[in-house]
Amino acid sequence: MDERDLIVRRFVEIFGGSAADVRVFHAPGRVNLIGEHIDYNGGRVFPAALTFGTTMAVRRRGDRKLRLASANFELRGEADLDRLAFDPADGWMNYPKGVAFHLMRHGYAIDGCDMLFDGRIPNGAGLSSSASIEVVTGYGLLALSGHSVDTVRLALIAQEAENRFVGVSCGIMDQFASANGKRDHAVLLKCDTLEYRHVPFRGGSYKIVIGNTGVRRELAGSEYNVRRSQCEEAVRHLQAAFPDLKLLCELTPEAYFEHEHLIPDETLRKRARHAVGENARVLEAVNVLEQNDLAAFGKLMTDSHRSLQTLYEVTGKELDAMVEAALAAPGVLGSRMTGAGFGGCTVSLVHEDHVADFIRRVGDAYKTAVGLDAVFYVCGIGDGVREVQG
∠ Cα 330 332 334 (to 5°):
150
Name the residue type at position 237: H
Report the sign of the C-alpha dihedral through residues 133, 135, 138, 141, in that order: negative
Q: What are phi and psi of 195, to 5 degrees?
A: -65, 130
CA distances from 269 to 248, 260, 276, 283, 300 (A): 11, 7, 11, 22, 21
Catalytic residue (one of 39, 114, 118, 174)? 174
Please give the Cα distance from 209 to 331 (Å, whole number): 12
Taking alpha carbons only, the member of 315, 379, 297, 326 closest to residue 31 is: 379
Please give the Cα distance from 197 to 341 (Å, whole number): 26
Catalytic residue status for 353: no
* 367: region left, alpha or beta (phi > 0 left; psi from -120 to 50 alpha): alpha
Q: What residues are labeled active site? A: 174
